[in-house]
Structure 1
Amino acid sequence: MTIGFIGTGSMGSTLIQAFIDAKRLAPEEIVVYNRTRSKAEKLQKQYPGLRIAANNRELVQQTPIFFLCIKPHEFRTVLDEIKDHVHDDQIAVSITSPVMIRDLEEWLPAKIAKIIPSITQAVLSGNSLVIPGTRLSETDRNTLWNLFAAISRPLLIEENHVRIASDLACCGPAFMANLLEKLADAAVEETQLPREQALSLVTQMTEGLGGLLSVGGFTLQSLQERVAVPGGITRKGLDLLDAEIGPVFHDLIRLTHTKYAADIQQVKSSFQTEK
């Protein structure tokens, strides 16, 4: 199977690395194109055998499945370049959440899917969010599902839930890393604990937490109950977090959804201009 990647930025390169590390794809099965050729050449040097297309048109002509790993404002330009070279037996996969499947199906004759990956796929973990288009056959769905099952736990979702699911699965690692860093920094400022030790403590704690939740038999709730005895320090700390941090996450979700709505409108406006 030959698979193409239009765009080798942060997430495009993460997917390529994950598929190769999982031995799901060999470098020889991958064709890439990036507007900045040096980024593609860096990947080619890292994975000998990986091929670089001369342009987007050449890439889609060579690949039965291709990924659109580009930013929302780049879609109109890329679709203009490839639309006359795409066939109805190809599968085009967008990893960009505010670009709607119905819009892609209007622009391309290909079978469309939207699959939102996460940085956690770099370690062959986490969820990838799968939203199939209307033209995909059961065989097509299985092909994509099996591809992502090698690097993640695929999760089938509705397109209207893609933003909130992305907040949890894709933005979540950065949000949690930010909170952990702030916890470590507060420890340093309040107690003069060396920062290197504070960061090591929260990092190792997080690794252990992942194990408790994944293989240790704990849920988020049962873990809190196990650690927080009534009247103890942890219980008092959790009470403070419930009061102070809980509302922040509501604000965070409202913020991401507001930005998402604006991005959707921007993409739609670009699609509505004369083809």
Structure 2
Amino acid sequence: MNIGVIGTGNMGTIIIESLIEGSVLSPSQLYITNRTLEKAEKIKQYYPEIKVLNNVKSVAQSTDILFICVKPLQIEPLLNTLKTDLTDEQLLVSITSPITVSQLESAVPSKVARVIPSITNRALSGATLFTFGDRCDERDKVKLKGLFENISTPIMIDEPITRIASDLSSCGPAFMSFLLEKMINAAVSVTEISKEQAIALTTEMMIGFGKLLEKDFYTLETLKQKVHVKGGVTGVGLKVLEDHTEGIFEKVFAETQNKFKEDHAVVDVQFSQEVSE
């Protein structure tokens, strides 16, 4: 089975590296390209057996499963370029949330799916979000999910929850990093701890926190209860957080939903023009 990747930016590269280092694929099974070819060549420096091709059509013609890892507004023109190179036996996979599987199916003759990865997949962990088109049969679903089972937990999602599921799984690491940086900077600001010590302690805390959840020692609620001793310091801190974070994530998700709708509207125009031509 040959796998193609068009677009070797952040997420395209993470997919490539994770599939190789998770022992899912050998580098020789991968055919990749990028608009700036030097980016693809840099990946080949680490994995010499990867095949870097100089155009998207060659990648499409060489692979069984083709990952499209480009920005939302670049997808429709790219699919228009590729549609004569794809067959009904191939599986095209987009990683971009604003593009629906129905829109993908309207543009190409191949089977289609959407897989939304997370930066956590680079550690062979976290979730990947799956939505399949109507042309995919059970074998296609098993094959694609099988690629990601060694590097993530594949989770099926329905179209209406695409954005919020992606916010939690894919944007979540950035949101959490922002909050943790705020906690670190505040610790340095109001106490004598060094930034290096604060970073080290917070990093180790997060690693241990993840392992507690992974091993099912606690849920989020029971973990909080375990640390929160009545009359203790944790409770004082939690009270401040409760008083000052009310509604913050409602605002975050309202903004991400609005951006998603804006992107959808632009993409819808692109695909409707394609259908009418």
> 2:143 — aligned with what?
143
Paired residues for 1:8-157 under 5 Å: 8-157=8-157
Query: TM-score scaled to structure 1, two decimals?
Result: 0.98
Alpha-carbon offset, residue 81 of structure 1: 1.1
Instruction: Indicate the residue corresponding to 2:198 in structure 1.
Output: 198
Alignment check: 8 A CA contact 2:20 2:27 kept: yes
Q: Report SS of the residue matched to 1:97.
A: coil
- 1:82 deviates by 0.3
% identical equivalent positions: 41
> 2-side partners of 1:252 and 1:240: how far apart?
20
Q: Give CA deviations for 1:28-87 in whole Å, capped at 9, x if unaligned.
A: 000001000000100111101100122111111111110000100111221121011111
After TM superposition, the score normalised by the length of structure 2 is 0.97
Q: What RMSD in Å do the two structures reach over aligned CA positions? A: 1.0
For residues 222-251 of structure 1, the C-alpha deviation after alignment (integer angstroms, 9 at most, x for no partner) is 000000012221112112212212311110
User: Match of 1:273, SS?
Assistant: helix
- Consecutive unaligned residues in structure 2, runs of 5 or more: none
Unaligned runs of 5+ in 1: none
Name which of structure 1's ranges 210-219 and 8-17 shifts more when overlaid on structure 2.
210-219
Find the aligned partners of 2:237 and 2:132 in 1 and give their Cα distance: 43
Q: In structure 1, how many angstroms separate the alpha carbons of the residues matched to 2:65 and 2:17?
A: 17
Distance 1:85 1:177 in 2: 42
CA distance in 2, matches of 1:270, 1:242: 44
Tell me how far apart the structure 2 counterparts of residues 195 and 64 of structure 1 sit (CA, whole Å): 49
Deviates more, 1:10-19 or 1:211-220: 211-220
The residue correspondences of 1:174-185 to structure 2 (distance < 5 A) are 174-185=174-185
Q: Distance in 2 between matches of 1:132 and 1:43?
A: 29
What is the distance in 1 between the residues matched to 2:133 and 2:240? Answer: 44
> Number of aligned pairs?
275
1:216: Cα distance to partner?
Answer: 5.0
Return the alpha-carbon distance in structure 2 between the equivalents of residues 71 and 34 of structure 1: 12
Task: State whether residues 37 and 54 of structure 2, in contact with CA within 8 Å, keep that contact through their aligned partners in structure 1.
Answer: no
